Amino acid sequence: QKEVEQNSGPLSVPEGAIASLNCTYSDRGSQSFFWYRQYSGKSPELIMFIYSNGDKEDGRFTAQLNKASQYVSLLIRDSQPSDSATYLCAVSADRGSTLGRLYFGRGTQLTVWP
């Protein structure tokens, strides 16, 4: 069984702060790593994906991957109340156009208070 673990939270940060979301995975063969945001009652939406060790930045979001430690994180800078949602970490053994299944964590609930 391929496990993806996330801190269930809830994580609460003030507006303008950095929110740090963490995820570990059990399958060393994992190649692709995704962060989804899910608002209450809504479907998940992809916000970041990362394949290579290191950091990947997109606006206020930075994904960090450390394959040796089997760890992936998401940093949200200048957090806004609109960032309040559940963040899902997902992992795949496939890469690029090779299609396949994603293994999801249970998600971390983030609340950004004004």
Partner 1 sequence: GAGVSQSPSNKVTEKGKDVELRCDPISGHTALYWYRQRLGQGLEFLIYFQGNSAPDKSGLPSDRFSAERTGESVSTLTIQRTQQEDSAVYLCASSSPGTGLREAFFGQGTRLTVV
Residue found under tokens 């979001």: 61
Taking the complex as a whole, the smallest distance from the CB of residue 3 to partner 1 amounts, in Å, to 11
Decide: 45 and 101 in contact? Cβ < 8 Å: no
Site string for partner 1, 35-54 (x = CB under 8 A): -------xxxxx--x-----
Nearer to partner 1, 69 or 97 (CB): 97
Site string for partner 1, 87-106 (x = CB under 8 A): -x-x-x-x-xxxxxxxxxxx
65 touching partner 1, by CB under 8 A: no
Q: Residue 76: phi, psi to the nearest 5?
A: -115, 110
Decide: 34 and 47 in contact? Cβ < 8 Å: no
- Name the site residues for partner 1 (rule: CB under 8 A): 4, 32, 34, 42-46, 49, 88, 90, 92, 94, 96-107
